[in-house]
Amino acid sequence: MPGIEIQPLEDEHLAAAAALLADRHSRHRQAEALLPEFSDFRAQLQRDLDHEQAGGVVALSGDKVVALLIGRVEEDPLLGDRRAIVDFAGCAAAEGQGETIRDLYAALAARWVAAGATRHLALIPASDEALMDPWLRLAFGVQYVWAVRETAAMKPVEADVEIRAGKPDDLELVAQLDRSLYEHQAGPPSFSGLAIPSDEEFRADWSDLWDDPELYTHFVAERAGRPVGHLVLFRRPTGDLRVPNSNIDLSHAATLPAARRSGVSLALTGHALTWAHEHGFRSMTTDWRSVNLLSARYWPRRGFRPTYYRLYRALP
């Protein structure tokens, strides 16, 4: 871009880069007050740079930093290949300088491809249209959504279900529900590309769900004495630009296919929001694949507001 110089992100740039990130997050919190409040944005940059195979670049106009980009190459255990990711603190630009993001991406993407990473992801504030625009013009699209809402005492849903605490005896149910979610997301229009694990692998993945009640809270919905769905809450660690304090994460929810659209998920969600409110949690986060039509339509209707989009590009 004329008048712009691209340089590696060095210690001498960190203060100015942190100021850009602080401005971005301030605008973001004006759009969504539940986002966490921070004062040390240099630490957020360092958090992203401390990953193995991480690196950054900045755009300079004269001697002024006007944009930054930090990314890393990592192994993807689900797909068995390498991907590159720009994390929550990895992208910011001064007002009117969004176009420079495309130059910064060109500089970093060359390294990523040379390292064998041809799938690229960028986590961008959902409300920041000026920052989103250059990514869309780099052939990225929205793949994943992170969202938040307030907890609240909800009116019970009449769905002919009873909700109880989960227990280790529910392992087979949980494995079955997770399988149903994998199968749903493997089909159109999601086409996840993920191999569906075996029943033994599903059971192994979930076998420790009940080991630490301070970390996970599990609810099961029953109809006529038969389990039809579940929901898992997780005390997700704070410290990044997404997870608020006094927050609990709705990390997994699923209903058996035969019971979908009968109020099971409504009852579970209302129960979880009420439980979280009564236990002192101020907010609840969740996330979904934007191409999972059931999730993408359901969660916003439950009051969850997008905070970040995961933008995705796969090179030919």
The answer to whether residues 171 and 276 belong to one domain is yes
Same domain, 69 and 182: no
The CA distance from 241 to 44, in Å, is 8
What's the whole-number mean pLDDT along residues 93-119? 98
The pLDDT, as a whole number, for residue 58 is: 99
- Domain residue limits at 258: 150-306
Same domain, 128 and 166: no
For residues 121 and 162, membership in a common domain is answered with: no
- Using pLDDT thresholds of 50, 70 and 90, give the confidence band for residue 79: confident
Whether residues 17 and 85 fall in one domain: yes
301 shares its domain with 172:
yes
Average pLDDT value for residue range 202-226? 97
Determine if residue 3 is left, alpha or beta; phi over 0 gives left, psi from -120 to 50 gives alpha, anything else beta.
left
Give me the number of domains the chain comprises.
2
pLDDT band at 186 (very low <50, low <70, confident <90, very high): very high
Per-chain mean pLDDT for the chain: 97
Q: How large is the average pLDDT for residues 216-220?
A: 99
At which residue do the structure tokens 């997301």 appear?
Answer: 185
What's the predicted TM-score (pTM) here? 0.95
Residue where a domain terminates, one of 79, 108, 138 = 138
Does 174 share its domain with 40? no
Q: What is the CATH number of the domain that holds 46?
A: 3.40.630.30
255 occurs within a structural domain: yes
Which of these three, 108, 138, 168, is where a domain ends? 138
98 and 199, same domain (yes or no):
no
Q: Last residue of some domain: 100, 117, 138?
A: 138
pLDDT at position 266, please? 97
Give the mean model confidence (pLDDT) for residues 172-196: 95
**222 plus 283 within the same structural domain:** yes
- Average pLDDT on 157-176 reads 96
2 has a pLDDT exceeding 90: no
- Report pLDDT digits (tens) over 251-289: 999 999 999 999 999 999 999 999 999 999 999 999 999
Give the largest Cα separation in the chain, rounded: 71
DSSP line for 6-22: EEE--GGGHHHHHHHHH
In a domain, 102, yes or no: yes
Kindly state whether residue 145 falls inside one of the protein's structural domains.
no
Cα–Cα separations (whole angstroms), residue 269 to 143, 255, 257: 23, 12, 17
> What would you report as the CA-atom Rg of the chain, rounded to the nearest whole angstrom?
21
What is residue 25's predicted lDDT score, i.e. its pLDDT?
99
Q: What is the pLDDT of residue 80?
A: 85
Place of tokens 């064998």: 116
Whether residues 225 and 107 fall in one domain:
no
Q: Is the pLDDT of residue 183 over 90?
A: yes
Same domain, 92 and 223: no
Task: Check whether residue 130 and residue 155 sit in a common domain.
Answer: no
